[in-house]
Amino acid sequence: DAPVDTMGCERLADESADPATKRYQQLVALMLSSQTKDELTAKVMQRLQDHGLTVANILRTSDSVLGQLLYGVGFHNRKVEYIKKTTQILKTEHNGDPPCDMPSLL
């Protein structure tokens, strides 16, 4: 099996999480995966989940701590900014739940 078969973005969310948190974790995994090998994306996702990968907790997490958690993924400093901005938009415009339709995502 290729890494994407076992560590693809859709497989990295916590299966025991509520549906909104699971969708959020899938979105974060997708954001991390750009310019990053699947194995490293999976490792960083585990660090984030151990830290508490929820909308509320990521908004409470300082940029420096989030940067440490993301260390190793491609462009990790930029991804801190993108994840924080996206998470704030999700909180204020979508009640913390990533929308399921393309127009709302854009």
Question: In whole angstroms, what is the distance from residue 8 CA to residue 56 CA?
Answer: 24
Place of tokens 């916590």: 14
Question: For residue 103, what are the contacts with CB-CB under 8 A and spacing of at least 6?
Answer: none
Helices 19-33 and 38-51 pack at an angle, to 10 degrees, of 140
% helix, strand, coil for the chain, step of 5: 70, 0, 30
User: Tokens in use for 45?
Assistant: 């996702």
Question: In whole angstroms, what is the distance from residue 24 CA to residue 55 CA?
Answer: 7
pTM score of the predicted model: 0.88
pLDDT tens digits, 65-101: 999 999 999 898 999 999 999 999 999 999 999 998 8
pLDDT tens digits, 11-58: 788 899 999 999 999 999 999 998 888 889 999 999 999 999 999 999
